[in-house]
Amino acid sequence: MTRRIAFVIYPGFQLLDATGPIAAFDIAARYQPGAYSIEVVAAGGGQVMSTAGVAVMAADLPAGPFDTLVVSGGEGSRDFAALAGLLEWLKGQARTARRIASVCTGAYVLAEAGLLEGRRATTHWAHTEHFGGRYPGVRLEADRIFIRQDEVWTSAGITAGIDLALALIEDDLGAQMARRTAQQLVMHHRRPGGQSQFSALLDSGGVHGRFAELMDWIRERLGEPLNVEQLADEAAMSPRHFARAFRAETGLTPAKAVERLRLEAARLRVETSGEPIDRVAEAVGFGDPERMRRAFLRTFGQPPQAIRRAARV
């Protein structure tokens, strides 16, 4: 069975959002001939200019049905007036396609078409505040590389589109084919660190860097019990206002942010030292090693011992 895959672009799309996943599907199709038929489509067709100034040839929006639709991100993803025709086409095609996916800010296109309402989704960390405000009905999870709910998939920024493509290939052709494709791409089958894009988000201190100093303050005190009242006091805000502002800025609650910073510190120590796991847990503020193990499993998909073993291979 040949699966018909359409990559949807528009003026102002991000080049790698399209070409990265296309390369992954192309490699998989070379390993398993006939697995995929790849098309690049855009409203009106022809040469479509990316933000890089490189144009890609696309077919006009064709009739379906498609197995999979993959919508690229880019600056043009928020130009909804220019995307009106594409949005209508997408709504129609989504009724018959087996699955639909977005890369990076392509999530705006899916959300504007009503395809993410009530669903879990992710997008590039730098856009979570704006996206969450515009689409409150979408259950945005800012710290994920990609999310699947039913047959709707969304992914984080740019290179995460390749992670998404590998997951789609695995869903179709199995883990072995996804691993072979990843090897050809010289990348991990599953990105180390599980499904988190949180490091970049926290390193920025939020979209506008509002909490950057607070992040540094937390990193210096990970072994201490850190509650929202302490964080709010350090930020010179009331606890309620701080909790709202922090979540709006970063897409996460203060408690979740502290846990992620602890996880980053713990993972570094687990991978680069022979320090006992229970001592790592105490040093970074988890206290109980079982609590840290559960957090590792949720975020990285592996316990600390497995991550340590993998780091030494």
* pLDDT (tens digit per residue) in 288-311: 999 999 998 887 778 999 888 876
The better pLDDT of the pair 108, 120 is held by 108
Predicted confidence band of residue 210 (pLDDT cuts 50, 70, 90): confident
Q: What is the mean pLDDT of residues 172-182?
A: 92
3-class SS letters over 212-269: HHHHHHHHCCCCCCCCHHHHHHHCCCCHHHHHHHHHHHHCCCHHHHHHHHHHHHHHHH
The more confident residue out of 282 and 247 is: 282
Give, in order, the Cα–Cα distances in Å from 158 to each of 1, 134, 141.
29, 21, 17
**Could you tell me the two tokens for 279?**
């001592």
Please say whether the beta carbons of 101 and 152 come within 8 A: yes
* From 51-65, 149-163, 226-240, 292-306, the region with the lowest mean pLDDT: 292-306
Confidence tier at 248 by pLDDT (50, 70, 90): confident
Q: Tell me the pLDDT tens digit for each residue of 265-293.
A: 898 888 888 899 999 999 999 989 999 99
Flag the least confident range among 21-30, 52-61, 119-128, 204-213. Answer: 204-213
Mean pLDDT for all residues in the chain = 90
pLDDT digit string (tens) for 5-58?
999 999 999 999 999 999 999 999 999 999 999 999 999 999 999 999 999 999
- The CATH code of the domain at 198-311 is 1.10.10.60
Burial label for 81, CB within 10 Å (0-12, 13-18, 19+), is exposed
CATH topology for the 3-185 domain? Rossmann fold (3.40.50)
Q: Which pLDDT value is given to residue 260?
A: 87
- pTM (two decimals): 0.72
The pLDDT score that the predictor gives to residue 103 is 97
Please, are residues 65 and 5 in contact by the beta-carbon 8 Å criterion?
A: no
Q: What pLDDT score was predicted for residue 194?
A: 45
Residue ranges covered by each domain of the chain: 3-185, 198-311
In the chain, the percentage of residues whose pLDDT exceeds 90 is 68
pLDDT band at 193 (very low <50, low <70, confident <90, very high): very low
